C-alpha cells in the first residue's frame, strides 16, 4: 500500500485524467469507533489528497457511512486521529467541519422536507451569509442585497444541476432521483473544498446514474473539489475514482487504484463471500 | 383564471424575492390592512372593537409567536401564556417605576424580558425534543405564574397580584377609547407580522425550518442548532410578551397572573393547530376562528334549537366542536385553515377551466 501511495505521489496526477492531484489534505489515523458493543470501525487509516476522487466501497454494514460521519464530525471515534489540513482536530462538531469547507450528502436523503428546492439550496449558503436577525426582520438594505447576491450563486448551482424547472417545488413532491440531485445542490451551494457523497446513485436508473456521475466529475474538474464517494455500483467506482478504499466488517482490506483494488485477493474474497 | 402567476415573469431576483411575489396576494394583503385600518374603525361598534377585534389581533400576535417556535423551528411549547404574562408584568413595571417611560418602549422592553425568560426556558431544548420539551415548557408555565404571585413586587404589592394598567399616552395623544386602542393594537400587530414574514423568508427562517425538518443535515451544512433554537425561543417569546402587554393594556386593563394560565397556553396552541402551523396567515385565521367560534355558537345554537337546550349544553357543545375540529385538523389537515385556503387558491387558478 505504501508503494501505491508513492506511485500516485510520484506521478502527481490521477490515472483517470490530467487533473492535478495535490498533497494529502485529510489524514485518518488508526480510527476506531464502536456503538456499545458493536465495532463499526477498527483501526482504520487512509488519506485523501487534494483534488482527487476517493471512493470507499464495501458490503452493507462495513462501516462506510460511519467513516463519513467521523470525517465531518457527526461521530466521534474512541480512538485515532483525524488530521485535516495539517491540523489535528478534537471534539469536532459538524458545523465546525462545515465551516472548514466540508459538505456532504446522506445515504437516506436528508433534505428539509417542508421547504422548496430553492430554499433547500439557499441553506447551503448559510455560513457565507453575514446579516443578523434585526436586519432580516427589516429585510432592507444589507439583508436584501445579501439575499440577492446569494440567490445568484444558488441559481448557478441550479443551472449546473439542470433543475431550473423545479426551483419552487416543495422537495417532498419530487421523485427520488431529483431529490438526490437537490441534496447535491445544497452541498455544492456551500462551495466546499471537500465533498462527501454517501451513495449518491443508490436506487437510480442508468440514465440518472450517468447524469450523477457527470455532475460529480464536473464538480471535481471545474471547481477542483476533493470528493470522497461511497458507491455500490462497481462500474461507476472503477470509472471515476482515483483511489479506492475497501472496508469489510469495519476493517480496511484494500487501498489503491481501482485496478490494484480489483486485483487484491482479500477484496475478491470479501465480494464473492457476501451477497451484495 | 383570476388568480394566477402566469404572465407575471420576474426580471430580477429582487422582484422574485418580494414579500408577496404574486400581485394578487400583494393587493389582497394591503387591501385587507387598509380595510381594517380605515373602514373597520368607522363601521364597527364598540362591542366589536373591544370584545372581538382587539382580542383577535392580540391572540393572532401570540399565535404568531408560538408559530415561530413550533411551526417554523419545530419546538413544541406549552408556555405561551406565561411568556405573555412576563411581557404584561414587565411592561407594567417599566411604566410604573421609570418616570416618563414611553408606552411603546415599555411594551418593547416587556417583550425583551419575555425573550430573556424564553431563552432561559429554551435551554432544555438543546437536549430534549418533542414531548419531553413540552413538559419542560409546562414547567415554565407553572413556575412563571407562581413567581408572579409569590413575589408581590411584580404587581406593586396589590392584593392577589392584580394589576390595573396605566393610561396609554403616546406623544401627547391619549389612547383611551376602544377605537384608538384598536388602532394602536392593529399598528403593532401589522408591523410585527411583517417583521415575522421577513424573518421567515431570510436565512434566519431557513435555519429554523432546517432544524425543524432535519437537524443533523442542518448542522452538517453549518447551522448551529443551539443558537438557532435559542433565537427561535427569543423571538417567539418576544412576540408572546408584546402580545401579553397589549392584552393587559389595550384589551383587559386589569390582569392577574392566574389569567395567564395553562388554559390560555392551550388556547394559543389550538389556534396554530387550527389556523396552520408554519404559516403567518394561519396564526391570524386560527385566532379569529377561536375567538369567533364561541360567539357564533352562543348566538346561533339557542336560536336554532330554541328552548330545547340548556345554557350548559351550549357551553359543552362548544367544547365538543373545538375537540372535533382539533382532531380533524391534526389528522386530516395538519397545516390547518391556511392550507385549506392554499388549496382553494390552487383551485381558483384553474377555475373555470378545471382541465
Ligand atoms: N448511530 C449508530 N448507532 C448504532 N450503531 C450504528 C450507528 N451507526 C452505524 N452503526 C453500526 O455500525 C455498523 C456500520 O454501519 P454503516 O457505517 O452504516 O455501514 P455502511 O454504510 O458501510 O453500510 C453497522 O453495524 C451499524 O449497525
Ligand atoms: Mg451506509
**Each residue of A220-244: pLDDT tens digit?**
999 999 999 999 998 999 999 999 9
Ligand 1 atom 25 nearest Cα: A61
- CB < 8 Å to A126, chain B: 203, 206-207, 221-223
- Helix axes B311-331 and B262-275, enclosed angle (nearest 10): 50
Shortest Cα–Cα distance, B15 to chain A (Å): 10
List residues near ligand 1 (CB under 6 A): A 35, 38, 40, 58, 60-66
Contacts of B300 (CB under 8 A, 6+ apart): none
Q: How far is CA A33 from the centre of its chain?
A: 20
Which atom in ligand 1 lies closest to the alpha carbon of residue A58?
22
CA neighbor of B232 nearest in space, from B208, B254, B209: B208
How many CB atoms are closer than 10 A to CB B38? 9
Work out the pLDDT band at A269, boundaries 50, 70, 90: confident
pTM of the model: 0.90
| pLDDT, position B14 | 73
Got the DSSP string for B19-44?
A: SS-SHHHHHHHHHHHHIIIIIHHHHS
Task: Locate A135 and state its grid cell.
Answer: 436586519
Gap between the Cα atoms of B15 and A37, Å rounded: 56
How many CB atoms are closer than 10 A to CB B159? 8
Ligand 1 atom 9 nearest Cα: A66
Which atom in ligand 1 lies closest to the alpha carbon of residue A59?
22
Average pLDDT over every residue of B306-319: 73
Domain boundaries, chain A: 2-101+192-272
Task: Locate B297 and state its grid cell.
Answer: 355558537
| pLDDT, position A7 | 38
Residues A131, B17: C-beta atoms closer than 8 Å: no
- The Cα-based distances of B305 to B293, B298, B338 in angstroms read 17, 11, 32
**Which range has the worst mean pLDDT, B54-58, B308-312, B334-338?**
B308-312
Helical H segments across chain B, by residue range: 13-16, 23-34, 40-43, 46-47, 54-66, 80-97, 103-122, 130-150, 178-200, 203-213, 215-220, 225-246, 262-275, 280-305, 311-331, 336-350
Shortest Cα–Cα distance, B93 to chain A (Å): 26
Average pLDDT over every residue of A133-156: 91
Gap between the Cα atoms of B270 and B288, Å rounded: 12
Residues A131, B203: C-beta atoms closer than 8 Å: yes
CATH code given to domain A2-101+192-272: 3.40.50.300
Q: How many alpha carbons fall within 13 Å on the CB side of residue B153? A: 4
- Helix axes B130-150 and B80-97, enclosed angle (nearest 10): 30
Gap between the Cα atoms of A70 and A82, Å rounded: 8
For ligand 1, the distance from its centroid to the CA atom of residue A40, given in whole angstroms, is 6
Q: What angle do CA B198, B202, B206 make, to 5 degrees?
A: 120
Residue B223 located in a structural domain: yes
| pLDDT, position B91 | 98
Task: Locate B332 and state its grid cell.
Answer: 386530516
Shortest Cα–Cα distance, B302 to chain A (Å): 43
Gap between the Cα atoms of B271 and A161, Å rounded: 41
Average pLDDT over every residue of B15-25: 74
| pLDDT, position A201 | 93
- Look up the domain containing B246 and give its range: 21-258
Residues A119, B209: C-beta atoms closer than 8 Å: yes
| pLDDT, position A9 | 36
Shortest Cα–Cα distance, B215 to chain A (Å): 9
- The Cα-based distances of B71 to B56, B67, B151, B340 in angstroms read 19, 5, 34, 16
Residues A112, B217: C-beta atoms closer than 8 Å: yes
Of A74, A127, A148, nearest to B222 by CB-CB distance is A127
Q: Quick check: bond before A137 cis, omega within 30? A: no
**Which range has the worst mean pLDDT, A193-202, A258-267, B255-264, B315-324?**
B315-324
For ligand 1, the distance from its centroid to the CA atom of residue A87, given in whole angstroms, is 27
**Scanning the structure block, which residue is given the C-alpha cell 439542470?**
A162
Ligand 1 atom 6 nearest Cα: A35
Ligand 1 atom 1 nearest Cα: A35
Q: Does B14 touch chain A (CB under 8 A)?
A: yes
Got the DSSP string for B164-213?
A: EPPPPEETTEE--SHHHHHHHHHHHHHHHHHHHHHHHTSHHHHHHHHHHH
Residues A112, B14: C-beta atoms closer than 8 Å: no
Residues A106, B198: C-beta atoms closer than 8 Å: no
Chain B nearest-CA residue for A105: B217
Query: Three-class SS of residue A141?
Result: coil
- CB < 8 Å to B207, chain A: 123, 126
How many structural domains are present in chain B?
A: 1
| pLDDT, position A184 | 97
Residue B27 located in a structural domain: yes
Work out the pLDDT band at B129, boundaries 50, 70, 90: confident
Residue B158 located in a structural domain: yes
pLDDT at residue B168 above 90?
yes
Amino acid at each position: 500500500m505504501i508503494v501505491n501511495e508513492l506511485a500516485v505521489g510520484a506521478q502527481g496526477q490521477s490515472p483517470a485524467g490530467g487533473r492535478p492531484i495535490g498533497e494529502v489534505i485529510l489524514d485518518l489515523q488508526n480510527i476506531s469507533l464502536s456503538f456499545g458493543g458493536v465495532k463499526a470501525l477498527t483501526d482504520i487509516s487512509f488519506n485523501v489528497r487534494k483534488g482527487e476522487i476517493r471512493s470507499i466501497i464495501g458490503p452493507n454494514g462495513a462501516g462506510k457511512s460511519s467513516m463519513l460521519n467521523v470525517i465531518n464530525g457527526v461521530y466521534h471515534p474512541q480512538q485515532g486521529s483525524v488530521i485535516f489540513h495539517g491540523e489535528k482536530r478534537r471534539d469536532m462538531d459538524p458545523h465546525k467541519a462545515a465551516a472548514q469547507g466540508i459538505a456532504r450528502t446522506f445515504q437516506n436523503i436528508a433534505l428539509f422536507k417542508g421547504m422548496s428546492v430553492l430554499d433547500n439550496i439557499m441553506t447551503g449558503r448559510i455560513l457565507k451569509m453575514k446579516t443578523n436577525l434585526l436586519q432580516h426582520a427589516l429585510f432592507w438594505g444589507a439583508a436584501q442585497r445579501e439575499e440577492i447576491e446569494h440567490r445568484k450563486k444558488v441559481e448557478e448551482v441550479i443551472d449546473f444541476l439542470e433543475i431550473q424547472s423545479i426551483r419552487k417545488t416543495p422537495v417532498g413532491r419530487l421523485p427520488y432521483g431529483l431529490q438526490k440531485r437537490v441534496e447535491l445542490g445544497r452541498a455544492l451551494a456551500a462551495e466546499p473544498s471537500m465533498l462527501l457523497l454517501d451513495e449518491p446513485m443508490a436506487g437510480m436508473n442508468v440514465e440518472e446514474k450517468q447524469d450523477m456521475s457527470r455532475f460529480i466529475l464536473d464538480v471535481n474538474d471545474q471547481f477542483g473539489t476533493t470528493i470522497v464517494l461511497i458507491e455500490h455500483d462497481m462500474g461507476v467506482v472503477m470509472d471515476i475514482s482515483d483511489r479506492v478504499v475497501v472496508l469489510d466488517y469495519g476493517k480496511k482490506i484494500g487501498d489503491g487504484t481501482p485496478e490494484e483494488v480489483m486485483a487484491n485477493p482479500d477484496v475478491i474474497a470479501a465480494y464473492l463471500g457476501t451477497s451484495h | 383564471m383570476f388568480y394566477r402567476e402566469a404572465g407575471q415573469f420576474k426580471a430580477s431576483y429582487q422582484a422574485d424575492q418580494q414579500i408577496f411575489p404574486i400581485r394578487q396576494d400583494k393587493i389582497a394583503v394591503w387591501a385587507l390592512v387598509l380595510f381594517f385600518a380605515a373602514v373597520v374603525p368607522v363601521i364597527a361598534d364598540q362591542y366589536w372593537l373591544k370584545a372581538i377585534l382587539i382580542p383577535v389581533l392580540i391572540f393572532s400576535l401570540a399565535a404568531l409567536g408560538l408559530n415561530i417556535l413550533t411551526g417554523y423551528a419545530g419546538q413544541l411549547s406549552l408556555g405561551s401564556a406565561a411568556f405573555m404574562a412576563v411581557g404584561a408584568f414587565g411592561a407594567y413595571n417599566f411604566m410604573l417605576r421609570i418616570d416618563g417611560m414611553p408606552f411603546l418602549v415599555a411594551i418593547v422592553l416587556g417583550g425583551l424580558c419575555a425573550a430573556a425568560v424564553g431563552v432561559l426556558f429554551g435551554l432544555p431544548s438543546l437536549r430534549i425534543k418533542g414531548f419531553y420539551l413540552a413538559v419542560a415548557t409546562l414547567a415554565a408555565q407553572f413556575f412563571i405564574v407562581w413567581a408572579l404571585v409569590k413575589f408581590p413586587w411584580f404587581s406593586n404589592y396589590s392584593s392577589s397580584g392584580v394589576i390595573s394598567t396605566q393610561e396609554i399616552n403616546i406623544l401627547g395623544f391619549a389612547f383611551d377609547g376602544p377605537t384608538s386602542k384598536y388602532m394602536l393594537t392593529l399598528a403593532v400587530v401589522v408591523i410585527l407580522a411583517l417583521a415575522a414574514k421577513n424573518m421567515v423568508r431570510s436565512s434566519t427562517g431557513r435555519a429554523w425550518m432546517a432544524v425543524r425538518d432535519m437537524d443533523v443535515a442542518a448542522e452538517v451544512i453549518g447551522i448551529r442548532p443551539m443558537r438557532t433554537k435559542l433565537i427561535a425561543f427569543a423571538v417567539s417569546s418576544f412576540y408572546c410578551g408584546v402580545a401579553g402587554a397589549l392584552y393587559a393594556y389595550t384589551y383587559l386593563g386589569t390582569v392577574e397572573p392566574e389569567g395567564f394560565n395553562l388554559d390560555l397556553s392551550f388556547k394559543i396552541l389550538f389556534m396554530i393547530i387550527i389556523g396552520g402551523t408554519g404559516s403567518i396567515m394561519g396564526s391570524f385565521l386560527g385566532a379569529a376562528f377561536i375567538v369567533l367560534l364561541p360567539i357564533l355558537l352562543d348566538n346561533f345554537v339557542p336560536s336554532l334549537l330554541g328552548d330545547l337546550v340548556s345554557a350548559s349544553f351550549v357551553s359543552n357543545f362548544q367544547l365538543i366542536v373545538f375537540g372535533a375540529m382539533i382532531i380533524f385538523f391534526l389528522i386530516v389537515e395538519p397545516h390547518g385553515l391556511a392550507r385549506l385556503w392554499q388549496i382553494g387558491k390552487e383551485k381558483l387558478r384553474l377555475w373555470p377551466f378545471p382541465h
